[in-house]
Chains A and B, each alone.
Chain A
Amino acid sequence: MNAMVENPDAKLALVIDDSAVNCKIMTTLLREEGYRVLSGNNGAVGVALYIEHLPDLVLMDIHMPVMDGYEAAKRIKSLSPNSLAPLIFITSLDTDEAFVEAIEAGGDGILTRPFSPEVFKAKIKSIQRISNLYTQVKTLQQEQQQDAELAEQIMSGVIEARNFALDRIGIKKQAAALFSGDIQLTALCPGGNVNVLLGDFTGHGLRSSIGAIPLSETFRVMTKKGFSLMEIIEQINRQLYELLPVDLFCCVCCVSISGHDRSAYVFNAGLPDTYVFNQEGKIKHKIESHHIPLGVMPNLLPQAQLQVYSVAEDDRVVLISDGILEARNDQGEMYGIQRFESAARQGFCHGDIPGKVFAAVNDFCQGRPQEDDISLIDIPCNGWQQALSGDDNAHNLAVSEMPDLHQDSEPSWHWQLSLTGQRLALVNPVPMAMGQIQEIEGNGEHWNNMYTILTELYVNALDHGVLRLNSELKNSAAGFAHYFMVRESRLKNLATGRIDISLSYHPLSSGGKMIITIVDDGQGFDLAAFYDHRLKNKHAGKDKVMLCGRGIELVHQLCEKLEYLERGNKVQATYVWAE
């Protein structure tokens, strides 16, 4: 042994050769190259040393007693199939067979004796270069895996765990990569509607996920604040356009289900047809994409609008991403629309659309690797008003137990907004009013009712007061669609018109009172005549078909007092709540 001090960080080489002289020569040469060196005199010793020390490089003789080089190499490589340590055979057998067998035993290279010290060192260097490259790739791969795991964690932990009503809305997905490019979101609107979004970002994996976090934040926050679905979609489009590179975008389908309206509002931008199944499992509507995906253009197309469908209590709305239709089997055949529709129908009858469809897709693909993310959302159309009406009962009970209503108390604040002409078409004042309330008074459950009251009264003032629309139109499904069309066109051409909104907040000893006043420049609304008309219809047994006028009834139930003043164009609602 020479007196050279070994560097403990230096790479470790293992030399296995039954000739002590060969061992000595190679050890010396390797030390000159900066290696620490271990040596053994047969294959069995070599394997044991390998297990104990996990060297960075192995030099293996072929003909040795006890265990030969081929056998030792096979064992070493099978011990650590992904090991980064290269193994070089050193041999005097200069035949093709020896070369082939050496490589098949797991060798990464072969060096034939006799060789000069220069050739030996050059061989070590070249094999080490490849090994370093391998290490580098391995490290990068691990980093990528960690990034994908982190993104997946954020996705399921932060984005999806905050979804609403996961016990009622069926969401099923299967990602092609660890991290899916599909995103599924659900959120409850302050008025009791449920908003659902299925998004499919270009491609899959981490690359496709850049937009997922801002998209889900926008969707959730704007839904909670009471923005309309169209306003939410516009904002998501703008955001993705600014954020994503040109070739990345998101195919989106948004659905808002209103139990109160018995309607589904749908916006399909680039996803396959969205389905509405009726109570017998038959397809009632197929809603095709009518807009380019979000994030492609700075603004939505001028004619972009929600599509409205009337839905019955037992109907289900089903959204899918294209991965389902394009899933292939070994023959290269695609799963396709027909197979999907029949699986969904069967699923409907078994009460499990997502389960049945996924089982059928996986059956069809027979374990062929999945090319794209696949996902499905199944939304029931009933029951979304329950949470809200539960609140009403609590509210009524609390108010009746409150003796001191401080009728004459001064408002502790007052907020007012007047909108005229085109601004009525461009601005939605309800989220602004809600924003003011929450900024001053903080969050509270009772603001959900407040939102419903404001929305209903404002929409009435705009639709019937300013736009002079007749709500009787809404009494049939066809009329409903017509109503929305007329509304859109009148809004677009709106030049005159005015609505004043004001809020007065009165604190009570335990709770509070809000007086909402909305004035429009219309011809006025006759509440007495309205109730008279409804009563007549009810007696005639027509109450089931009354699709219009439920808004005002709902407000009436929620409020302490509801009055139409002046010529019926000024409405004042008093809402009281207990803490």
Chain B
Amino acid sequence: MSIEKVISADNQNVSISIEDRFDFSLHQKFRESYADCDTNGTVFTLNLDKTSYMDSSALGMILLLKDHADKISGKVIINKPNETVNKILEIAQFHRLLTIEL
């Protein structure tokens, strides 16, 4: 389980990748990964192509990220969730809240 973060040179794009399981144990690390990114209009891309499993507290964490992005007029994009993870996003109807790129 790990989180990797890449910030573009102009601070406009923040890419967060999550490996293996995305669950409550990442709570602290996940929050820390975006807390300092407060450039207006930042686009946060959440790469889930290496995420094997996600639980409901992960959905909560995504909502926290969205809340943070909304405050700085930014945006959250979820990128490449696998079938299992996408099913969870689908049941929660998260495509109505943010962009999901398959």
Q: Which residues of A contact B (CB under 8 A)?
A: 200, 202-203, 246-249, 251, 269-272, 288-293, 296-297, 301, 322, 326, 372
Number of interface residues of B (CB under 8 A): 17
What sequence of 0s and 1s flags, for each residue 20-42 of chain B, a beta carbon within 8 Å of any chain A beta carbon?
A: 00001000000000000000000
- Could you tell me the distance in whole angstroms from the C-beta of B57 to the nearest C-beta in chain A? 5
Complex: chain A residue closest to B67, CB-CB: A246
* Contacting pair B60 A202 (CB below 8 A): yes
Known: A202-B57, A203-B24. A301 touches B96 (CB 8 A): yes
Judged by DSSP, the binding face of A is loop
* Contacting pair B63 A200 (CB below 8 A): no
Known: A246-B63, A249-B63, A251-B92. A292 touches B97 (CB 8 A): yes
Complex: chain B residue closest to A326, CB-CB: B55
> What B residues does A326 contact at CB under 8 A?
55
Q: Which chain B residues numbered 56 to 80 have a C-beta less than 8 Å away from chain A?
A: 56-57, 59-61, 63-64, 67
The distance in angstroms between the C-alpha atoms of A249 and B59, with both chains bound, is 9
Among A203, A288, A290: residue with most chain B CB under 10 A: A203
* Contacting pair A200 B56 (CB below 8 A): yes
Known: A203-B24, A246-B67, A372-B55. A270 touches B93 (CB 8 A): yes
> What B residues does A251 contact at CB under 8 A?
56, 91-92
A292 partner, pick from B61, B64, B94, beta carbons under 8 A: B94
> What A residues does B91 contact at CB under 8 A?
251, 270-272, 288-289, 322
Complex: chain A residue closest to B90, CB-CB: A289
* Contacting pair A270 B55 (CB below 8 A): no
Known: A203-B24, A292-B97, A372-B55. A270 touches B61 (CB 8 A): no
* Contacting pair A202 B96 (CB below 8 A): no
The distance in angstroms between the C-alpha atoms of A320 and B2, with both chains bound, is 32
> What B residues does A271 contact at CB under 8 A?
91
> What A residues does B60 contact at CB under 8 A?
202-203, 246-249
A270 partner, pick from B24, B57, B92, beta carbons under 8 A: B92
Extra inter-chain contacts (8) besides given A247-B57, A289-B92, CB under 8 Å = A200-B56, A202-B60, A203-B57, A247-B63, A251-B56, A292-B92, A292-B96, A292-B97
Judged by DSSP, the binding face of B is helix
> What A residues does B94 contact at CB under 8 A?
292
Q: Which residues of B contact A (CB under 8 A)?
A: 24, 55-57, 59-61, 63-64, 67, 90-94, 96-97
Among A248, A270, A272, A289: residue with most chain B CB under 10 A: A270
* Contacting pair A296 B56 (CB below 8 A): no
- Could you tell me the distance in whole angstroms from the C-beta of A244 to the nearest C-beta in chain B? 10
> What A residues does B96 contact at CB under 8 A?
292, 301
The distance in angstroms between the C-alpha atoms of A326 and B63, with both chains bound, is 22
* Contacting pair A202 B97 (CB below 8 A): no
| Selected A-B contacts with CB under 8 Å, 13 pairs | A202-B56, A203-B24, A203-B56, A203-B57, A247-B60, A249-B60, A251-B56, A251-B92, A288-B91, A289-B91, A289-B92, A292-B93, A292-B94
* Contacting pair A293 B64 (CB below 8 A): no
> What B residues does A296 contact at CB under 8 A?
63, 97
> What B residues does A270 contact at CB under 8 A?
91-93
The distance in angstroms between the C-alpha atoms of A308 and B4, with both chains bound, is 46
6 tightest A-B contacts by CB?
A247-B60, A292-B93, A246-B67, A289-B91, A202-B60, A247-B64
> What A residues does B64 contact at CB under 8 A?
246-247
Among A246, A291, A372: residue with most chain B CB under 10 A: A246
B93 partner, pick from A202, A246, A291, beta carbons under 8 A: A291
> What B residues does A289 contact at CB under 8 A?
90-93
The distance in angstroms between the C-alpha atoms of A288 and B88, with both chains bound, is 12
Among B55, B56, B94: residue with most chain A CB under 10 A: B56
Complex: chain A residue closest to B64, CB-CB: A247
The distance in angstroms between the C-alpha atoms of A269 and B93, with both chains bound, is 8
> What A residues does B93 contact at CB under 8 A?
269-270, 289-293
> What A residues does B61 contact at CB under 8 A?
247
- Could you tell me the distance in whole angstroms from the C-beta of A224 to the nearest C-beta in chain B? 30
Among B57, B61, B97: residue with most chain A CB under 10 A: B57
The distance in angstroms between the C-alpha atoms of A166 and B96, with both chains bound, is 36
The distance in angstroms between the C-alpha atoms of A203 and B55, with both chains bound, is 8
The distance in angstroms between the C-alpha atoms of A7 and B9, with both chains bound, is 67
The distance in angstroms between the C-alpha atoms of A292 and B92, with both chains bound, is 5
The distance in angstroms between the C-alpha atoms of A483 and B57, with both chains bound, is 39
- Could you tell me the distance in whole angstroms from the C-beta of A212 to the nearest C-beta in chain B? 15
> What B residues does A246 contact at CB under 8 A?
60, 63-64, 67
- Could you tell me the distance in whole angstroms from the C-beta of A156 to the nearest C-beta in chain B? 23
The distance in angstroms between the C-alpha atoms of A318 and B96, with both chains bound, is 26
